[in-house]
Amino acid sequence: MSLLSLLLWPLVALWLAITLLAQHRRFQPLINPLDGFHVIPRWTFFAPNPGVRDYHLVVRDRRRDGSTTDWKSVPVYTPRPGCAWLWHPGKRSSKIMNDAIQSIKFLQKQGEVGATGLPFTMPYLLLLRYASHAVPPDPDGTEFQIAIIESTGHDNRKLECSFLSDFHSR
């Protein structure tokens, strides 16, 4: 057995053992902070809670006179092409938004940052910045606000607002 082999066998065994532990929520707070490169995979696809909702980001402006504009949809989803089974780059942007929204919901649920701390977190800032650039501001708009709308169902879609931000300066 070569020296490299002698080193790699225990390393691989340890990697597999940590991967097994990382599938359980109890061990994730210990492992996640040390896994910046995501070398420990999470294999619990679509479980225990499968994604049965679509998330939509909307934005509106508040004008100088205090009135607000209508909500405008922030474009994230692209319609899935017929060849998506082979080529589907559009899935990435919706996955990024889903991840950011899940992070916001997790932070809210955890309660560590609180309502005042949430606007300083990365997923919040990411969505805020993207929304502010993706939708042209109202000519009289001085501040803007974002909201997350969740939709379920296919033919009869049900909409629900799950998050409303404060107003932020343009």
Partner 1 sequence: MDRVDIAPDIVQCLIITKILLAAWSLLSAAEWLFNLHLFRSDGLLSWKILGLRPGLIGAPPFRSYFYSESFIVSVLLSRILGGLVLLLPYPNHAGPGDLAASLAILLSCLYMSWRSRFGGDGSDQMGMVVAFGAAIMSAGVAMDDASLAWCGIFALAGQATLAYFAAGAAKLASPVWREGGALLGVMQTQSYGDSFAARFAQDRPGFCTFVCWLTIVTETLFPLVFILPPGLLMASLACFAAFHFSNAWFMGLNAFVWPFLATYPSVILASSAIRDWAGLA
Residues in the site for partner 1, rule: CB under 8 A? 1-2, 4-5, 8-9, 12, 15-16, 19-20, 23, 36-39, 41-54, 76-77, 80, 84-89, 91-100, 103, 122-123, 125-126, 129-130, 133-134, 151-155
3-state secondary structure of 126: helix
Q: How far is the CB of 111 from partner 1 (least distance, A)?
A: 21
Q: How far is the CB of 126 from partner 1 (least distance, A)?
A: 5
In the DSSP assignment, the letter for residue 33 is G
Q: What is the distance, to the nearest Å, from the Cα of residue 98 to the centroid of all Cα atoms in its chain?
A: 4
Contact 122, 96 (CB under 8 A): no
For partner 1, give the closer residue by CB, 38 or 64. Answer: 38
Structure tokens at 10: 């225990």
Distance CA 80, CA 50 (A): 20
Smallest distance, partner 1 to C-beta of residue 169, A: 16
Nearer to partner 1, 68 or 162 (CB): 162
